[in-house]
Amino acid sequence: MENAFIESFNGRLRDECLNVHQFLSLEAARAIIETWRLDYNQRRPHSSLGHLTPNEFLKQCQVNQTVEAALCSG
């Protein structure tokens, strides 16, 4: 299952970033890819994550784990 997520990410990176831009230098490539990565993780909702961004989903999981740990220890 995990491989499917990686393949999906790699396909999106290729289709939305690598195939769209012509990188004139390594520094330019790093900057453009980082901008795309930030958008992917911080601004773009993902249907597979309940229409949350990956960052929002991670925060929600961390809150849930904290609540579960408190309930189990109390």
Average pLDDT, the chain: 90
Structural domain that includes position 14: 2-73
Contact 45, 51 (CB under 8 A): yes
How many domains are there within the chain?
A: 1
Task: Name the phi and psi angles at 46, rounded to 5.
Answer: -120, 125
pTM for the model stands at: 0.70
Cα–Cα dist 3/56, whole Å:
22
More confident residue, 63 or 33: 33
**52, β-bridge pairs:** 46
Cα–Cα dist 36/47, whole Å:
18
Task: Report pLDDT for 73.
Answer: 76
Task: Report pLDDT for 23.
Answer: 97
Quick: pLDDT tens for 13-47. 999 999 999 999 999 999 999 999 999 988 999 89
HSE at residue 16, side-chain half, CA atoms within 13 A, is 14
